[in-house]
Amino acid sequence: MSSISPYVMVDRANDYRVFLERAFEAEITDFVVLPEDPGRVLHARARIGDSELFFADSGEGGQRCLKSPDEPVHVQLWATVPDADSVYGRAIDAGARPAQEVTAQSDGSRLGGFVDPFGTLWWVNTTAPVGV
């Protein structure tokens, strides 16, 4: 099973969180602040109904925003796929530029990223097996 979730880069992600909670009654999880600047958000997940939206502060300090080609990427795509390594490899073979090689995460999932030939930053994720 595959799915795609938007990843929105904003200025003032803490304010964006409040907006999502107020406007959509969103449940915010995985809220990670930038260690060197706790006022900035490195990664967060919002559940709105049956959907997920990821968000973070934009900018080089957030380490989530790539230039494409002259402006910051404001929306990134997060794809949960059965095999992140295969998707990453096929994307690179199809002309994408590596952003982050697929690696094992602390929760047992696998995550990597690439910029497609059109400038979109994709994150591919394979969830951890049950029981890990």
- Does 75 score more than 70 pLDDT? no
Look at residue 74 in the predicted model and tell me its pLDDT. 62
Residue 26 structure tokens: 């969103």
**Could you read off the pLDDT of 20-34 as tens digits, one per residue?**
999 888 999 889 998
| Domain parsing of the chain, residue ranges | 1-70, 81-132
Identical fold at 1-70 and 81-132? yes
Contacts from 95-102 at CB under 8 Å and sequence distance 24+?
A: 96/122, 99/66
Write the CATH number of the domain with boundaries 81-132: 3.10.180.10
Strands 51-57 vs 3-10: parallel, antiparallel or unpaired: parallel
- Does 124 score more than 80 pLDDT? yes
The fold adopted by the segment(s) 1-70 is 2,3-Dihydroxybiphenyl 1,2-Dioxygenase; domain 1 (3.10.180)
Q: What does pTM read for this prediction? A: 0.64
Q: Between 74 and 47, whose confidence is greater?
A: 47
Range with the lowest mean pLDDT among 18-27, 58-67, 68-77? 58-67
